């Protein structure tokens, strides 16, 4: 199911305990479409004092959507893989 997000999302205070564990409010997870329990997430630093916690599948889907949407404006036709392979064919670093 696709979830629609608005630009006005709620902020929730979160405290880290002495063992670095945060307790994430259920409403926060619900708003993000993240199920508590066995779902694997990925965390990364996104600047000073900012940690992003994401569902990697949702992140991948968003990267895919963004990449595919940008192709016409960049005049990229065909598959990106063919561009990569073309790049490799033009690699002169090993040519005699």
Partner 1 sequence: MATKPSLPAGKVLVDASLLVGIIDRDPDACLFIPILSRCVVTSVNFGEMLYKLEQLLDVDPQKVESAFVGLGLQIDSFGLSAARNFNELKKIDELSRSTQLAAGVAKHMVKSLSLADLACLSYGLDAKLPILTGDKHWCTLNQYGFRGVVFDYRSPVTTF
Using CB under 8 A as the criterion, which residues of the chain lie in contact with partner 1 when the complex forms? 40-42, 44, 46, 52, 54-57, 59-60, 63-64, 66-68, 70-71, 74, 76, 79-81, 83-85, 87-89, 91, 93-95
Of the candidates 8, 5, 61, 12, the residue with the CA atom closest to the CA atom of residue 33: 5
Looking from the CA of 65 toward its CB, the CA atoms found within 13 Å total 7
Pick between residue 17 and residue 87 the one whose CB is nearest to partner 1: 87
Return the structure tokens found at 75: 């005049």
Pick between residue 27 and residue 79 the one whose CB is nearest to partner 1: 79
Pick between residue 27 and residue 42 the one whose CB is nearest to partner 1: 42
CB of 39 to partner 1, least distance (A): 11
Distance CA 42, CA 32 (A): 14
């Amino acid at each position: 199911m696709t979830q629609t997000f608005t630009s006005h999302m709620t902020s929730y205070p979160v405290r880290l305990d002495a063992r670095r564990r945060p307790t994430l409010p259920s409403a926060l997870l619900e708003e993000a479409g993240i199920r508590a329990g066995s779902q694997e997430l990925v965390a990364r630093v996104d600047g000073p004092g900012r940690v992003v916690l994401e569902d990697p599948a949702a992140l991948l889907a968003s990267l895919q959507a963004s990449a595919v949407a940008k192709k016409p404006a960049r005049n990229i036709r065909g598959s990106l893989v063919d561009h990569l392979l073309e790049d490799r064919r033009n690699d002169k670093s090993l040519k005699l």
